[in-house]
Amino acid sequence: MSADDKLKILALHGYRQNADIFKKITQPLLDSLSMWVKFVYVNAPHEVFLVDDPDNLDFGEKVCKKQYGWFFNRDNLTNRGIRNGGPAIGFQETVRSIESIFETYGPFDGILGFSQGACLAALLCDLQHRGLIKPKFNFAIIISGFKSKCLPHMKYFSDIISLPTMHILGDEDEIIPNEMSASLAECFEEPLICNHTGGHIVPTSPEQIEEYQKFVYTHYLSKNLS
């Protein structure tokens, strides 16, 4: 098997994570799919600052220079997935960054995202569906995903998206409740929904690994037999 035979998947980390942390978190998944997949991990373009008071516009102290986010839904440059309304500060810069990543490291067969990265992955699915971005990909794996409720994103997901997707939902997820992830899955045609008993994590139990493998192998065959 040559490297060109493998699927190439762009991995999008969660809020206040980075590429290195996300690679460590997903290492069991990476190992289990290495026969068919090459993952590419990238940092979001926006550094995250910690504020002393989430409702205070003054910045607090930086606690880590290596925490990043894909966009912010508060004017103080923080983000909370369950927040209704608010801006989407930095989102257009993120889209341009993703386009640049596709040009530099692509093409990619699919994308995988966790939490805010999953939210972004879904937004990219919608943008591709409407022909509004240059990157093209064939599937998405969305872990603890949700529909952004930022005001600029309210126009998204007006159509059912036909792109194949796998949605991972945690029964004990207290950060992104199951209902939010399930609501996002409804925006896609025939989504594959997989529940696990954990919380806000990338699940890598043997049962869950088997589900990833089945989904990914289907696309691996599609790529190499077409």
Q: pLDDT digit string (tens) for 112-154?
A: 999 999 999 999 999 999 999 999 999 999 999 999 999 999 9
User: What is the spatial distance between Cα 61 and Cα 45, in angstroms, rounded to a whole number?
Assistant: 20
Q: How far is CA 140 from CA 5, 13, 42, 128, 168, in A?
A: 19, 14, 16, 12, 11
CB-based contact 45:15 (threshold 8 Å): no
Q: What CATH homologous superfamily does 3-225 map to?
A: Alpha/Beta hydrolase fold, catalytic domain (3.40.50.1820)
Two tokens, residue 120 = 């972004």
Sequence spans of domains, the chain: 3-225
pLDDT above 90: residue 110: yes
Q: 17-38, pLDDT tens digit by residue?
A: 999 999 999 999 999 999 999 9
Catalytic residues: 115, 173, 200
Bridge partners (DSSP) listed for residue 193: 167
Residue-level pLDDT at 77: 87
C-alpha torsion sign, points 191, 192, 196, 199:
negative
Arithmetic mean of pLDDT, 195-219: 95
User: What is the spatial distance between Cα 140 and Cα 110, in angstroms, rounded to a whole number?
Assistant: 5
Question: What is the pTM assigned to this prediction?
Answer: 0.91
Polymer length in residues for the chain: 226
pLDDT band, residue 58 (cuts 50/70/90): very low
User: What is the spatial distance between Cα 10 and Cα 39, in angstroms, rounded to a whole number?
Assistant: 6
Q: What is the CA radius of gyration of the chain?
A: 17
